[in-house]
Structure 1
Amino acid sequence: MSIILVGSMLLGCGGVQYVDNADSREYSSLGIDYHDLEKAAGDNIKSLLGSGYVRSLAGLEKPKVLAISNVINDTMQHFSTQELTRKITRDMRNSGKFILTMAFAGSGGSKDTMLDSVRNARGNDEVNQYGVPEKGKIIAPELSLSGKIIQRNTKVKSKQRVDYFFLLTLTDLKSGLVVWDNEVNIIKVGKNASAW
């Protein structure tokens, strides 16, 4: 079968179209989508960067080392919580007050496995030891970002209401004290058939 014929068959079956992010609200469902993650990340980072804790970091010589801890997806939606945490930590880093470590991570982040691979090369005669980091060079995190995303469904007459709660907490790892926390709520209403 030729490429032209296969291409024609795909287009004939409805094809696929690209949608600009700004126009994609037209195709929303009751599930969590791009716009919901953007809003949850944007509202949370606005709250964090405007908080008293972050204001107290003004004039700090070194940025605070941040690790992403567990962020639990307690919804019926299947998505990686890293979609949310990476948007938030990117803005945190861009503020100049935080730096992200990839040496420690919970379910909301990802650990860079190359850190262990490089360190396991210590003493290997096949590896030039000049580039292998010596022991004691990994910097421990000072702060931990954790959270939970909760979903609550309610039937309202012939429609379905879905409430999403994006809960985030920033913890000082030395003291165990919460230095910031926030909740962003997103509420959607639609026909039961449009739920997922």
Structure 2
Amino acid sequence: MNSKILSFTFMGVLLLAACSSEVKYIDPSTSKDYTSIGLDYHDIENAANKSIQSLLQSNYVKNLATQKNPKVLAISDVINDTMQNFSTEELTRKITRDMRNSGKFVLTMAMAGSGGSTDKMIKEAREARNDAEFNQYSVQEKGNLVAPELSLSGKIVQRNTKIGSKQRVDYFFLLTLTDIKTGLVVWDDAINIIKLGSNKSVAW
């Protein structure tokens, strides 16, 4: 048989296989039924919710109630020290969103570590100062960026332990809020998530 015919036949089989595979939407409220031993949406959501509740109930935040201006927050490095590939910004943006909603914090996008991201347009727009094509009266003036007062950093750690035919996986979400001026820790917390599954389960 002609090699081209074989090639087209093989591609057709692959196409039919792809079309016949079943794909469906899962409601987030019931998706726990399809959980794995690895980290998933519910784990990130759970860790973020527990962390923000711990922060908002801390003495540091309670003392901020007497201050009129919200604290400027920057997301620093958040290290993913697990076997799984996911963006730590899934966690930090959930936490900082709730922090902003409390009215006691605002988030800067002018600078960030590995746990967040910056808005590149902030810097790019300021480069227009040297471009004669731009109306210089419309360009942002120097000295308007607001420096952060607080830094949110953290680390996510994974520990696997075999227990007979089972495998226990411990995840630790370690978060710290630091006063940038003094370098002092104003809040920190550790959220633990523990899962148990078969030794055949792979936590990645």
Which interval holds the TM-score relative to the shorter structure?
Answer: over 0.9
Residue number in structure 1 paired with 2:107: 100
Deviation at 1:61, TM superposition (A): 1.2
Q: Point out the structure with max Rg over C-alpha.
A: 2
Residue number in structure 1 paired with 2:3: none
Q: Which amino acid aligns with 1:30?
A: I
Deviation at 1:131, TM superposition (A): 2.2
- Structure 2 distance, partners of 1:123, 1:33, is 46
Q: Give the ranges of 4+ consecutive aligned residues of structure 1 lying more than 3 Å apart after TM superposition.
A: 6-11
Within-5 A mapping of 1:1-196: 10-12=18-20, 14-196=21-203
Deviation at 1:7, TM superposition (A): 8.8
Provide closer, same or farther for how the CA distance between residues 7 and 60 of structure 1 changes in structure 2, counting only shifts above 3 A: farther
Count of aligned pairs between the two proteins: 192
Q: Which amino acid aligns with 2:41?
A: Y
Q: Which amino acid aligns with 1:56?
A: N
Residue 179 of structure 1 aligns to a residue whose secondary structure is strand
- Structure 2 distance, partners of 1:179, 1:88, is 16
8 Å Cα contact 1:160/1:195 also seen in 2? no
Residue 110 of structure 2 aligns to a residue whose secondary structure is strand
In the superposition, the TM-score normalised over structure 2's length comes to 0.90
Q: Which amino acid aligns with 1:99?
A: V
8 Å Cα contact 1:65/1:100 also seen in 2? yes
Q: Which amino acid aligns with 1:25?
A: K
Which runs of 5 or more structure 1 residues have no equivalent in the other structure?
A: none
Deviation at 1:55, TM superposition (A): 0.2
- Structure 1 distance, partners of 2:114, 2:165, is 37
Q: Which amino acid aligns with 1:180?
A: W
Residue 61 of structure 2 aligns to a residue whose secondary structure is helix
Deviation at 1:11, TM superposition (A): 4.6
Q: Which amino acid aligns with 1:113?
A: K
Q: Which amino acid aligns with 1:161?
A: R
C-alpha distance after superposition, 1:91-126 (max 9, x if no partner): 000000000000110000001111110011103110
Deviation at 1:128, TM superposition (A): 1.5
Q: Which amino acid aligns with 1:121?
A: A
**RMSD of the alignment, in Å?**
1.7
Q: Percent identity?
A: 64
